[in-house]
Chain A
Amino acid sequence: MRALTFASRNTKEILRDILTLIFGVAFPIVLLILLSMINKSIPVGYGPDLFHIEKLAPGITVFGLSFLSLFSSMLIAKDRTTSFVLRLFTSPLKPADFILGYTLPMLPMVLLQSVVCYLAAMIFGLRFSANILLAVVVNIPIAVVFIALGLLFGTILNEKAVGGVCGALLTNLSAWFSNIWFDTAMVGGVFKKLADLLPFSHAVNAARAAVAGDFSAILPDLWWVIGYAVVLLCTAVAVFAVKLKKN
């Protein structure tokens, strides 16, 4: 209950920062449009397979979700710089209420971002099917991974540092190890092993399997993602609790 009240406050904070909202939803769409246009101008059979709209659209939606790390980390880090957080720390809110309260408002943004991205992809040839709705649902645990990473970094780092870590480093790392822009198998070796250990390529594989209607291929990859989401959220709660006590 308290977590929901806190979530409601955070939702208002996000919705009233319209620039962030526009950037979060618009940036992946701009990327999708640009890459689709580039792909269209390449003769059939010459362009990379990964840039075909059936693979590109789920990849870009997952890439768009990586920006949630930046939003969630900024939200929590910004709160930590104000006296308002002292008021919250002396209230009956518990660490789990804080983390849940920061996570829940992001979920409508996930749905909005995913739906808008897939709608834009339809303009570039993605055929509508119920599988797309499934892909939107698959995006939820993927989004939780990125949100939890943001909350973790936002709890540890200050407002300036999270911009660099979540805005640049994490976005790039998740892109390199994701199979969105290139097949990690082409690099092979340690890089491929690392990509298989991290959740990002599994997230993209699950989203692609959902769009393709390859249902049996979704869960093996999605379990990795769900596992990471649970572990990262629990870690964020634990780290937040330590930070609260150390205040």
Chain B
Amino acid sequence: MMEAIRTYDLHKRYRDKTAVRSLNLTVHQGELYGLLGVNGAGKSTTIKMLSCLTRPTSGDAEVMGHSVVSESEKVKSIMNVSPQETAVAAKLSVRENLEFIARIYGADKKTAREKADSIIREFSFEEIQKSRAATLSGGWQRRLSIAMALITEPQVLFLDEPTLGLDVLARRELWKVIEGLKGKMTIILTTHYLEEAESLCDRIGIMAHGELCAEGTAAELKEKAGTDDFEEAFIRIAGEGVK
């Protein structure tokens, strides 16, 4: 299997606190990889380093073979991020948001319009395409935020807590969207919702105290922790640092 992401002793230190400690992680192309952990485990810092938002203190990572340290521009052009909170331009319409992102990734006007047309159909935005993002419900804003990440056709997509704060229905709707993306691109998903990770992810990594404690399919992790319940498995692994 081809590697989409590989980290080499990736390390991030903020003054006297180590956020990520010598992380060695491999994600295969086309895989939906879930990154789990309690608050402060190092998930978001890992995503920040992999998406070139912050430089590692030491170590390196390759995204589709390009170093996040020395080839950040190349990495930025082939990946996209849907940040933790909804990241839309509030005063722009749905269509304007989509076309804006397409264009800053290099699409010309015509191509941006065509890409927006396609995403609008795919995400059922037809009725709201002229509405300003600020007027949409939380669920629709989050859908737009993910659509904005997809319009650039990234090879690697980072979804940082994509369903955080959404109601059950909106969350399930987004699950369908994410499931529809499986296999089309490599996806790294961070989440606090364990059922989300269990249901969607091909493989799951559990982080605690900046380290990767365990990795595998949901079934493998349950077996490793000696339980049939994924939540219990997570608590045992994250809480006790089971290797």
Residue numbers of A with Cβ under 8 A of B are: 2, 5-6, 8-9, 12-13, 16-17, 82-84, 86-93, 245, 247
Taking A92-B77, A92-B105 as contacts, is the C-beta distance between A12 and B91 under 8 angstroms? yes
Tell me, in angstroms, the Cα distance from A247 to B12 when the chains sit together. Answer: 13
Residue B181, interface by CB 8 Å:
no
Given known A83-B84, A84-B89, A91-B76, contact A6–B104 (CB-CB < 8 A): yes
Instruction: With A87-B81, A87-B148, A247-B54 as known contacts, state yes or no: A5 contacts B100, CB within 8 Å.
Output: yes
Residues of A near B52 (CB, < 8 A) are 90
Given contacts A87-B101, A90-B53, contact A9 B76 (CB under 8 A): no
* A8→B96 CA distance, assembly (Å): 10
- On whether the beta carbons of B87 and A83 are closer than 8 Å, the reply is yes
Complex Cα spacing A64 to B134, Å: 31
Contact indicator A82/B87 (Cβ below 8 Å): yes
Residues of A within 8 A of B79 (CB): 90
Taking beta carbons and an 8 Å cutoff, which residues of B are in contact with A? 48, 51-55, 73, 76-77, 79-81, 83-92, 96, 100-101, 103-106, 148-149
Question: What is the bound-complex CA distance between A55 and B12, given in angstroms?
Answer: 58
CA distance A92 to B79 in the complex (A): 10
Shortest Cβ distance from A8 into B: residue:
B100
Q: Can you give 21 contacting A-B residue pairs, CB < 8 Å? A: A2-B104, A5-B103, A9-B100, A12-B91, A12-B92, A13-B92, A82-B90, A83-B87, A84-B90, A86-B87, A87-B81, A87-B87, A87-B148, A89-B53, A91-B101, A91-B105, A92-B77, A92-B104, A93-B104, A247-B53, A247-B54
Closest 6 CB pairs of A and B: A83-B87, A83-B85, A5-B103, A83-B83, A86-B83, A87-B87
Question: Number of residue pairs across A and B with beta carbons under 8 Å?
Answer: 66
Question: Shortest beta-carbon distance, A182 to chain B, in Å?
Answer: 41
Is B100 a contact of A92 with CB atoms below 8 Å?
no
17 new A-B contacts, CB < 8 A, other than A16-B91, A17-B91, A247-B48, are A2-B103, A2-B104, A2-B106, A5-B104, A9-B96, A9-B100, A82-B87, A87-B81, A87-B83, A87-B148, A88-B104, A90-B80, A90-B81, A91-B104, A92-B105, A92-B106, A93-B104
Report how far A92 CA is from B103 CA in the complex, Å: 11
The residue on B at minimum CB distance from A16 is B91
Inter-chain CA distance A86–B86, complex, in Å, is: 10
Is B87 a contact of A84 with CB atoms below 8 Å? yes
Shortest Cβ distance from B85 into A: residue: A83
Cβ-defined contact, B89 with A13, below 8 A = yes
Give every chain A residue within 8 A of B48 (Cβ-Cβ): 247
Q: How far is the CB of A98 from chain B (nearest CB, A)?
A: 11
B89 touches A9 (CB 8 A): yes
Enumerate chain A residues within 8 angstroms of B106, measured Cβ to Cβ: 2, 92
Query: Which B residues are CB-close (under 8 A) to A9?
Result: 89, 92, 96, 100
**Bound complex: CA A2 to CA B105 (Å):** 8
A183 to B91, CA, bound (A): 44
Alpha-carbon distance A237/B109, docked complex (angstroms)? 27
Q: Is the CB of B100 within 8 A of A90?
A: no
